[in-house]
Structure 1
Amino acid sequence: MPSTLTAPHEYREEIRKSRFIALAAPITSPEQAQAFISGASDLAASHNCWAWKLGSQYRSSDDGEPGGTAGRPILAAIEAQGCDQVAVLVIRWFGGIQLGTGGLARAYGGCANKCLQQAEKRLLVARLPFTLQCSFSELALVRLRVLEAGGLVEAETFGAGGVALHVALEGEQAGAVQQHLAGLSKGRIVLTPL
């Protein structure tokens, strides 16, 4: 099962006089990945190479290094560590010694790999989308029951008759949550799969 990072992480290494800093962070959208990369990049460095993976979407950049020697090895490190929803930026300050294409791939991929190995991770749980309706007075308890089951409240729409919620729950938790909500509302609150 894939995992993501609980918080940003940093790893530093010097390889043949070149300084490398690998920065990794959890992401939830391509825009967030690009914002992390733009914000953490050092324009004074020789190269700011990166890769990110978000489900089936992924991107990488060699930032001036020979093609395939930086971005792809960083992406390979993300996949080798079983990570998803992660962006990794590896910043290099050239130290005057050429590393060659194989050396560059090992350096970038190795730094990314070590950074991700050391970072604290959490498993990504597959959740299914549901909708439900509740009264205003029931909203706090509904939120609590969903969160206690490891679910997420993704959206709330307030109307004259109450609140419509979009929630995401683990498949095996949906039945237990439905029982709790039915007991709370005397059978009126029903989880409906989307």
Structure 2
Amino acid sequence: MSDNTIYRLIEPYQYEQEIKKSIFLAHAVPVASEEQAQEWLQKLRVPEATHNCWAYRIGQKYRSDDDGEPSGTAGRPILQIIEKQNFDQVLILVIRWFGGIKLGAGGLIRAYGGTAAECLRQAPRAEYIPQKTASILCSFSDHALLKARIVEYDAQIISEEFGAEVEMKITVPEDTYVALYDRVLDLTRGQAVIIEDG
């Protein structure tokens, strides 16, 4: 396992622990967009709990929230754990039910960060391989050949539409996209058109 391997969650996971009579419940959820992160927060948030603190990382987008805890004692430590354990496309919500004993700033940082860290450590994970989505427009005569060859680049066909020409919507690992692009143009003598999504 190299230090620069990035991970994603395979499925949602939760972990609970008690610290000085306060209950800390962490939910770790795979998310692909900020909208999805907000939807999960609405679904998992417990309004009657004392605090619902969270952080997420989706590519270059990062956000965190202390939800009433002293600034920097909850959301930021959760985000640091996501970064430290090399996760992407993940939301972690740590819910706290106050048990009557104040933890102090250092105690809060350890409690929120520690609960998030243990949750991620135990959660089922897979290596995260960034993907690009693109559409290949080609003639019917080139379709079968391209379809057979793009799998060599770990490309997956999402959909195919047949009209005046064939449009194949694909996802491909980012690091093989340029090689695939060149190969498609080579195989079709420059006749195919590749449109990168987004």
Fold shared, TM-score > 0.5 on shorter chain: yes
Which of 21, 26, 29 matches 1:22? 26
CA RMSD, Structure 1 to Structure 2 (Å):
3.3
Identical positions, percent: 43
* Residue 75 of structure 2 is aligned to residue 74 of structure 1: no
Shift of 1:55: 1.1
- The 2-side partners of 1:27 and 1:148 are apart by 28
TM-score using structure 1 length: 0.80
Q: What secondary structure sits across from 1:66 in the alignment?
A: coil
* Residue 38 of structure 2 is aligned to residue 34 of structure 1: yes
- 1:50 is aligned with what amino acid? W
Aligned residues: 192
1:38-57 map, 5 Å: 38-57=42-61
Q: What secondary structure sits across from 2:82 in the alignment?
A: helix
Counterpart position of 1:168: 172
Counterpart position of 2:69: 65
Shift of 1:167: 3.6
Shift of 1:69: 0.5
- 2:18 is aligned with what amino acid? E
- The 2-side partners of 1:109 and 1:119 are apart by 15
Task: Flag structure 2 segments of 5+ consecutive residues without an equivalent.
Answer: none
- The 2-side partners of 1:42 and 1:148 are apart by 47
Counterpart position of 1:113: 117
Task: Flag structure 1 segments of 5+ consecutive residues without an equivalent.
Answer: none
* Residue 126 of structure 2 is aligned to residue 122 of structure 1: yes
User: Does the 8 A contact of 2:137 with 2:194 survive in 1?
Assistant: no
Shift of 1:123: 1.4
TM-score using structure 2 length: 0.79
